[in-house]
Amino acid sequence: MLDVAALELSAEERERIAHPLVGGVILFARNYAEPAQLSALTAAIRTARDPAPLIAVDQEGGRVQRFRDGFTAIPPMRSLGELWDRDVVGAAGEARRLGATIASELAACGVDFSFAPVVDLDHGRSGVIGDRAFHRNPNAVAHLATGFCAGLRSRGMAAVIKHFPGHGFVAADSHHEMPVDPRPLAALEKDDLVPFGALVRGGVEGVMPAHVAYPEVDAQPAGYSRVWLLDILRGRLGFDGVIFSDDLSMAGALGAGDVVARADAAHEAGCDVVLVCNDPEAAATLLSHWRPQPRTASEARCARLALRTPAPA
């Protein structure tokens, strides 16, 4: 999954999207001016190849809402956690309503899904997570995220939860450095993994792992770890949806080597789709030199996500 530079596709970007390794495009604020322009851009992306690529965005709400003018202002998810403390049923209903709003507005402009919701716990340590998290209580996060995902599905949209197995305990920002979470697996299972397990049991369609190292569990950071992605996420939790890497251009991903080595590491660990954002030279290098082994299972998972149909509201 790659990005594009502006409000319209360049000839080079059309050619790049048509490459057989490209299965998706992620959009950013720079790609948005108003709804009609976004609809034209997504239509152009879809016609660049057959089958059409998946089109995604980070439209979480609060600080992370790429499309604003002409879209509903979505509050940070912490506001739902604060409501949950006063009114559990009302908060779950509001989470569903916000999920449905996001899905309706994105779908109307040709966007397939948002990388949302964030189900990291708010440990009060992480500035990059902060108010993007619903709550500190893992049961509250599971409850609210379940409502949010139900709202997405009510409008036919998949959910992609992040950042497995939890980014909220570490202070470091994985955009700029490699965070290290020193806790053992047993502590994570009792806390940060709770909402991931609940949402997997509920049939969540996608998961994005964190660029965070958990050395008590595996030497490799989660996004490059077969222990985390295959043994725990797929094996123990039973997840059978799409695993999207976080952006391989982030500092937390750079330890694996150049962009081809990073893509290899993520793919071999179990990621179905790897993201390369904000680095067109790296994207071009990856498409020229990466030779991943085809995976029928990955293609089937992506096809299931792409073919979602609206469920009853």
- Residues serving a catalytic function are 175, 246
Q: What is the distance between the alpha carbons of residues 197 and 44, in angstroms, rounded to a whole number? A: 37
- Nearest CA among 52, 1, 50 for reference residue 22: 1
Residue type, 58: D
Is 190 exposed, middle or buried, given 0-12, 13-18 or 19+ CB atoms closer than 10 A? Answer: exposed
Map tokens 């950042």 to a residue.
163
DSSP string across 175-197: TTS--B----HHHHHHTTHHHHH
- Nearest CA among 241, 265, 243, 244 for reference residue 254: 265
Contacts of 236 (CB under 8 A, 6+ apart): none
Phi and psi angles of residue 159, each rounded to the nearest 5 degrees, phi first: -110, 145
